[in-house]
Chain A
């Protein structure tokens, strides 16, 4: 079997790519895509640690499953919010235009 550090490194690299994208993109849609990438890479880390630890309650696998559920809920609500934002006249859906709470 392939050792755990290979998977952990892949997860870390993809997480960093997603993090860079999330921090730098203007478009909310691309930010959300990067968020999905980060979620998936962390899931990979959970599964890898689950295999390394090997506890009978399968914590790693089940945690990854629940993270998937929450990720699906998050992307649904997030994209609905993007649609609302678009409909309120922000044609470019850029995160910099979200300034309602600005003092």
Chain B
């Protein structure tokens, strides 16, 4: 058991480094197709982190929805528009310095709060089985579940209407 727990830490460290590295690569690549590929890889690594949290169903959905569907749509739109920039400074807004300041201040607050509250997060519940998740989803959360299908339908119709050539 001890060696397995150590393995989980090693896996988590590997996934964290991969996610942060891939996110930064996504941010700083001048070719948007490369960005989308890095994003897809980072999102697959997130699925691994969900699996470490014993949220297996969510890990599966993460691969299907984020790494699969969303990345494909992003690549599709990148291919239809401009695929990249020539110089690095063309990536950035004019107010990038101010934005960096905002992020540093917000990040300082966020991380200091998190590290200050470390002791609160000692409790750990048992892993949730997928049948239990399904039961909760179709009883307690039945109304939001149905409404989310309506949201998807509305988004589908809206996206088709917007992207259609020569809409009224």
Query: 4 closest Cβ contacts across the A-B interface?
Result: A54-B125, A73-B155, A23-B99, A4-B121
Interface positions, chain A 46-99, Cβ under 8 Å from B, are 47-48, 51-54, 57-58, 61-62, 64-66, 68-77, 79-84, 86, 91-93, 95-96
Q: A30-B91, A86-B81 are in contact. Are A77 and B155 (CB under 8 A)?
A: yes
Q: Which residues of chain A are within 8 angstroms of B111 by Cβ–Cβ distance?
A: 9, 12
List the A residue with the shortest CB-CB distance to B32. A29
> Complex Cα distance A13/B46, Å?
13
The count of residues in chain B whose C-beta lies closer than 8 Å to any C-beta of chain A is 82
Q: Is the CB of A24 within 8 A of B162?
A: no
Query: How far apart are A9's CB and chain B's nearest CB, in angstroms?
Result: 6
B interface secondary structure, majority: helix
Q: Is the CB of B148 within 8 A of A47?
A: no
B residues sitting closer than 8 Å to A (CB atoms) are 5, 8-9, 12, 16, 19-20, 23-24, 26-27, 32, 35-36, 39, 42-43, 46, 49-50, 52-55, 58, 61-62, 65-66, 69-70, 73-74, 76-78, 80-82, 85, 90-94, 96, 99-100, 102-103, 106-107, 110-111, 114-115, 118, 121-126, 128, 132-133, 136-137, 140-141, 144, 148, 151-152, 154-156, 158-160, 162-163
Q: Which residues of chain B are within 8 angstroms of A27 by Cβ–Cβ distance?
A: 32, 82, 85, 91
A residues sitting closer than 8 Å to B (CB atoms) are 1-10, 12-21, 23-27, 29-30, 32-34, 36-37, 40, 43-44, 47-48, 51-54, 57-58, 61-62, 64-66, 68-77, 79-84, 86, 91-93, 95-96
Q: Which residues of chain B are within 8 angstroms of A91 by Cβ–Cβ distance?
A: 81-82
Query: How far apart are A25's CB and chain B's nearest CB, in angstroms?
Result: 6
Q: Is the CB of B121 within 8 A of A62?
A: no
> Complex Cα distance A15/B111, Å?
11
